[in-house]
A and B are shown apart, each in its own frame.
Chain A
Amino acid sequence: MTSPESQNNVQSSQQAESAGKIMNTEKTKKSAASLWSLMKEDLKHRRWMLIISSVVQGFAGPIVVLFMLSSLKKARDYGYYSYAYNGGNTELDLSAIRELVDGVTSDYMPIMQLIIAVVGALIVGIFGYRHLFNRRMTDMVNSLPVKREKQFSVIYLNGFLIWFVPFVISMIISMSMCAFETLGFGFGGLIAARCFTIIIGSLFCFLAVYTMIVLAVVLAGTVFNAILNIAFIGFDLILGFAVLYCLCDNYYDTFVRLPFSFETIFWVSPPISACFCGYIISRGEELLAELLHNGAYVFELIMTIAITVMNYFLALFIYSKRKSEEAESGVSNKPYRFLVRTLNAIYAGLLVSFIISEIVSTFYSSFAGWRIFFSAFFTVLTYGLIDVFQGRSFKAFFAHWKQMIAVTVVMELILVVFIYDLTGFDTRMISRSNIKGAVIHYSNSFRNSSSSDYYLVPGEDGCMFGPWYDGSFRSGYDIEIDADLAYDIISSRKLYFENEGQYLYDPVTGETVQRWRYSDQPWDERPFCQYVTIYADRKFGFDFCRGYRVADPDVIDEILLSDGYKENHFKVETGEVGYPMSISLQMSDGWDDGIEIPYQYIPMIMEAYYADFEENYSVEYLDAPMGDIKLNLRYRIYYSEEDYRNDRYSSNRFTICPVEEDSRTMEVLKQLVRMGVIDWSVWVSGGDQNLNDWIEYYEYYEDDYYPAY
């Protein structure tokens, strides 16, 4: 007995056979699948991305701007009210609108659109090429009569459009709303210009990040590995630079800095450089001008573009050559797979060594063995784990054990080169011909302070409350000296440099002498050690900065006292006029957030404060001759000459905390309040009153008008 279903099947099969007789009559010669038709087909299966993109852009654009505009309306209402009440004040209205325009076009939109661009690039990049993670889908796609280059381009273009079209529409609507609301105030041009720069900046950011993600994806066989690849391609080179810096800083005593800054090498990391450049472009105006006038930024911009173009063609090449069987497997491309394992395993080993040396001082050589051991351990661990991720099996941990051993050995060699300075970086003197220039940087290095509080007084050659200390340089400044002179200083005198502040080494004689800080060694008795930094112009074109610490201040004295040297290098600059660089006003002994006094009023206050000081405090009270007294205004602690030199806390910023007896100072401050220089409404942390209360308090005494406080 046959079931109705099978009867139906029999009938179906007969019909199917008859249908077979209807031969393809539509074999008209059409052209091969066009790019546009392929894009339409691809887009059909990625509708959800387009919907998400549109919803996000709709919310982040017009809807948020609508909220912001409603706040503008309130501000304008307030402005009109003021206008009527005060008899005319259009300034308020204009400033509120300007604030909103800036808020939307300069603060909110650039950042929000960059965030959307990065997240959008991640989503369309990973899911656009998702067939690479599915063997069945790969089989289907690759069996189709479409060249792989074309497939790649279709997916790439669609991914871009999925982000770009809703973005541009959202931007146009948002900016139109903004322009409409501010109609008649002359902001139309500004809004249009910023709309343009935001589009360009976000476009730049999106393309750079998107292309890098596509490259990461085509090198992966699973989503997990794609994400690992993104981390690797996006950040591994930056990590490499960081590791190099840490190693040099940690193991080389004379190391000062790399021949390049991290800022200038951001371009190796598309997510960082793209966001950085994209933000600057989006913000437009001043920032864009800065970008175009700063050589390092221009370099970064150009390199980011170059890297993006390179990533695109690399991704296209790998996609077209990619083996179908790599779907659902770990990472494709054997050399790349090896590169990922090797680099990260080496980084891991070196970083672990660095961390250990940070925990226990590098000085203890007994820990070198442990560093070597743990570095090797973590190299093996990292190598094996990446292999596990790539091979998608725990058994893959030792799948490449020979390579694992080789990589561990290489890592150990690198580490040993740094630990024992096998390149002789520290002990090798820079030849005279290689010295490009030198600067002397003053610091209380042996007392672990980075600056000092010596200030010039108009008409006097000395510091504020005492004579000039001849053996010191002005704090916070690097003073250039001749290369020859620098070489003479380093090579002919006893020079020492510091290792973690704990021992000294003589690079000339090669002797290592352990000198403990705060011991009775001669150089430790002198609190003002000089620090000489030598810039060496290396033969291969990089400026590699080396620093030597000069333990004998007589060397520096010799330079200082030479004819004309002081006049040339200690000029009083405009706005400083021998006073502190800044003054912070505080009400009590609290540390934080004093009120900054604009620099043009500093002399006035300092003169008054100095006079109050002289009047209110007697020499007897301080038990020392007045000429030797130093005042640390921050603490209001008084030191003798000897103590003052040993003061560890010093700064080129004065914090003043006047009291009732300091009448001159108070008068100056009151003037400043009346002039609107000091904002009376600002609360001063660390105190229990605001400045307004304070001024009133003194006015009470002064005018004898107000009731008792």
Chain B
Amino acid sequence: MIEIRGVVKNYDEIRALNEVSFDMPEGQVFGLVGTNGAGKSTLLRCICGVCKPDKGEIFIDGEPVWENPDVKEKVFFISDDQYFFPGTTPNEMASYYGTMYPKTFSKERFDQLMDALSLDRKRRVQTFSKGMKKQLSIMLGIASGCKYVLCDETFDGLDPVVRQAVKRLFIHDMDEAGITPIIASHNLRELEDICEYVGLLHKGGVILSKDLGDMKLGIFKVQVVFRDASSLDTVKNNCNVIAEDHRGSLTTLTIRGQRTELETIITSQVPVFYEVLPLTLEEIFISETEVLGYDFAGITK
């Protein structure tokens, strides 16, 4: 498990992470989502020991990660723009990572994965397309055999088929080898397919960190039509409404709470029509960040 405790990270005057604390359980795909500049990449860089937090600590399996090779052997970082040595080939990169991860790296597996993706192992990496480089970095990460694979915007630039294959690979390795992929992304629909646990970052802080299923159980979208406005007011007063939208007589409310309690309150006002719908991850993200003022509704005015 990765434990993040009160991590603060500043870039000169800019605070990238502000007292971030949460856990990333092992054996699950963890999705790290957040607004632009929320600190997702910074957090990943701190977790893999690239950056040292100005304050707070990060533990991996109970041990601090900073300058701890024994712990860093369990982590592989796939950055959003992975570096490859000039003029190098995939084989040479594999040899390089093989030296760096001597206990776990499997060249055999790397070769098989590369062959499976039809990537030439002897071709110069600089002649690869952006997507092919991305594939290569993912294959290196998987072949490294590390317990935690940190992926920063990994699915960007991959075609849908490869994206699907990578997801399957992650899930497969999670089951078979117990790896824990930690994926930072803006593409919430992609994450929703694969993630079981989600951490939501905004302006350097954690809004929430929960099991995706639990998260969906605690927040609902209700479409309701009341005869009079006082019924709507009563509902709003008794429920934790975090967003509302009106289209004619149809009101859409985003409400936090238990579904049964919610339905009791709504039915007590005798609505003409009501329907409780589950929220997608994207809707949850928008709702949660809207509450914090992350809303650009005025952009069209």
Given contacts A145-B73, A323-B51, contact A16 B96 (CB under 8 A): no
Which residues of B have CB within 8 Å of A19? Answer: 109, 112-113, 115-116
* Contact among A17, A139, A320 with B45 in the assembled complex (CB-CB below 8 Å): A139
Question: In whole angstroms, what is the CA distance A405 to B284 when docked?
Answer: 51
Question: In whole angstroms, what is the CA distance A445 to B67 when docked?
Answer: 68
- Decide if A145 touches B116 in the complex (CB within 8 Å): no
B100 at the A interface (CB under 8 A): yes
Which residues of B have CB within 8 Å of A30? Answer: 102-103
- Decide if B82 touches A6 in the complex (CB within 8 Å): no
Given contacts A12-B118, A33-B99, A145-B72, contact A136 B79 (CB under 8 A): yes
Interface residues of B in 122-167 (CB under 8 A from A): 142-143, 145, 159, 161-162, 164-166
Question: In whole angstroms, what is the CA distance A9 to B161 when docked?
Answer: 6
Given contacts A23-B176, A143-B50, contact A15 B115 (CB under 8 A): yes
Which residues of B have CB within 8 Å of A144? Answer: 72, 100
Q: Smallest distance from the beta carbon of B97 to chain A beta carbons, Å? A: 8
B168 at the A interface (CB under 8 A): yes
Given contacts A16-B165, A44-B92, A145-B69, contact A8 B116 (CB under 8 A): no
B238 at the A interface (CB under 8 A): no
Q: Which of B82, B83, B108 has the most CB of A within 10 A?
A: B83
Which residues of B have CB within 8 Å of A15? Answer: 115-117
Which residues of A have CB within 8 Å of B79? Answer: 136, 139-140, 143
A292 at the B interface (CB under 8 A): no
* Contact among B77, B112, B145, B169 with A139 in the assembled complex (CB-CB below 8 Å): B77
Which residues of A have CB within 8 Å of B103? Answer: 27, 29-30, 32
Q: Which residue of A lies closest to B159 (CB)?
A: A9
Count of chain A residues with a beta carbon within 8 Å of a chain B beta carbon: 48
Interface residues of A in 128-161 (CB under 8 A from B): 134, 136-140, 142-148
Interface residues of A in 590-604 (CB under 8 A from B): none
- Decide if A24 touches B96 in the complex (CB within 8 Å): no
- Decide if B108 touches A136 in the complex (CB within 8 Å): no
Which residues of B have CB within 8 Å of A6? Answer: 159, 161
- Decide if B164 touches A13 in the complex (CB within 8 Å): yes
Q: Smallest distance from the beta carbon of A150 to chain B beta carbons, Å? A: 8
B52 at the A interface (CB under 8 A): yes
Q: Which residue of B lies closest to A142 (CB)?
A: B50
Which residues of A have CB within 8 Å of B118? Answer: 8, 12
Which residues of A have CB within 8 Å of B176? Answer: 20-21, 23
- Residue-wise, chain B 76-100 has the 8 Å CB interface mask toward A (1 for contact) of 1101011101001000100110011
Question: In whole angstroms, what is the CA distance A112 to B115 when docked?
Answer: 52
Which residues of B have CB within 8 Å of A26? Answer: 106-108
Interface residues of A in 1-44 (CB under 8 A from B): 6, 8-10, 12-27, 29-33, 37-38, 40-41, 44
Question: In whole angstroms, what is the CA distance A325 to B54 when docked?
Answer: 13
- Decide if B92 touches A16 in the complex (CB within 8 Å): no
Question: In whole angstroms, what is the CA distance A562 to B157 when docked?
Answer: 99
B292 at the A interface (CB under 8 A): no
Q: Smallest distance from the beta carbon of A525 to chain B beta carbons, Å? A: 70
- Decide if B75 touches A13 in the complex (CB within 8 Å): no
- Decide if A143 touches B72 in the complex (CB within 8 Å): yes
B172 at the A interface (CB under 8 A): yes
* Contact among A22, A40, A139 with B109 in the assembled complex (CB-CB below 8 Å): A22
- Decide if A24 touches B161 in the complex (CB within 8 Å): no
- Decide if A146 touches B112 in the complex (CB within 8 Å): no
Q: Smallest distance from the beta carbon of A118 to chain B beta carbons, Å? A: 26
Q: Smallest distance from the beta carbon of A128 to chain B beta carbons, Å? A: 14
Which residues of A have CB within 8 Å of B92? Answer: 44
Q: Smallest distance from the beta carbon of A318 to chain B beta carbons, Å? A: 14
A402 at the B interface (CB under 8 A): no
- Residue-wise, chain A 403-434 has the 8 Å CB interface mask toward B (1 for contact) of 00000000000000000000000000000000
- Decide if A45 touches B168 in the complex (CB within 8 Å): no
A655 at the B interface (CB under 8 A): no
Given contacts A9-B159, A32-B73, contact A324 B165 (CB under 8 A): no
* Contact among B99, B104, B162 with A27 in the assembled complex (CB-CB below 8 Å): B104
Which residues of B have CB within 8 Å of A145? Answer: 69-73, 75, 100-101
B11 at the A interface (CB under 8 A): yes
Given contacts A24-B109, A27-B104, A41-B95, contact A12 B69 (CB under 8 A): no
- Decide if A140 touches B69 in the complex (CB within 8 Å): no
B173 at the A interface (CB under 8 A): yes
Q: Smallest distance from the beta carbon of A437 to chain B beta carbons, Å? A: 57
* Contact among B69, B71, B100, B169 with A17 in the assembled complex (CB-CB below 8 Å): B169
- Decide if B106 touches A146 in the complex (CB within 8 Å): no
Given contacts A22-B108, A139-B77, contact A33 B48 (CB under 8 A): no
Given contacts A20-B172, A136-B81, A140-B83, contact A45 B109 (CB under 8 A): no
Q: Smallest distance from the beta carbon of B254 to chain A beta carbons, Å? A: 37
Which residues of A have CB within 8 Å of B75? Answer: 143, 145
Interface residues of B in 195-219 (CB under 8 A from A): none
Given contacts A16-B169, A140-B79, contact A324 B161 (CB under 8 A): no
Q: Which residue of A lies closest to B142 (CB)?
A: A20
B277 at the A interface (CB under 8 A): no
B31 at the A interface (CB under 8 A): no
Question: In whole angstroms, what is the CA distance A31 to B79 when docked?
Answer: 26
Q: Smallest distance from the beta carbon of A52 to chain B beta carbons, Å? A: 15
- Decide if B162 touches A13 in the complex (CB within 8 Å): yes
- Residue-wise, chain A 362-385 has the 8 Å CB interface mask toward B (1 for contact) of 000000000000000000000000
- Decide if B101 touches A16 in the complex (CB within 8 Å): no
Q: Which residue of A lies closest to B73 (CB)?
A: A145
Q: Which residue of B lies closest to A15 (CB)?
A: B116
- Decide if A13 touches B165 in the complex (CB within 8 Å): yes
- Decide if A134 touches B83 in the complex (CB within 8 Å): yes
B177 at the A interface (CB under 8 A): yes
Which residues of A have CB within 8 Å of B69? Answer: 32, 145-147
Which residues of A have CB within 8 Å of B39? Answer: none
Could you list 6 further interchain pairs (A-B, Cβ under 8 angstroms) beyond the known A6-B159, A26-B107, A323-B52?
A13-B117, A17-B169, A25-B108, A27-B104, A145-B69, A325-B11
**A–B pairs, 11, beta carbons within 8 Å:** A10-B161, A13-B165, A16-B169, A19-B116, A23-B177, A32-B70, A32-B73, A44-B95, A143-B76, A145-B69, A324-B50
Taking beta carbons and an 8 Å cutoff, which residues of B are in contact with A? 11, 45, 48-52, 67, 69-73, 75-77, 79, 81-83, 85, 88, 92, 95-96, 99-104, 106-109, 112-113, 115-118, 142-143, 145, 159, 161-162, 164-166, 168-169, 172-173, 176-177
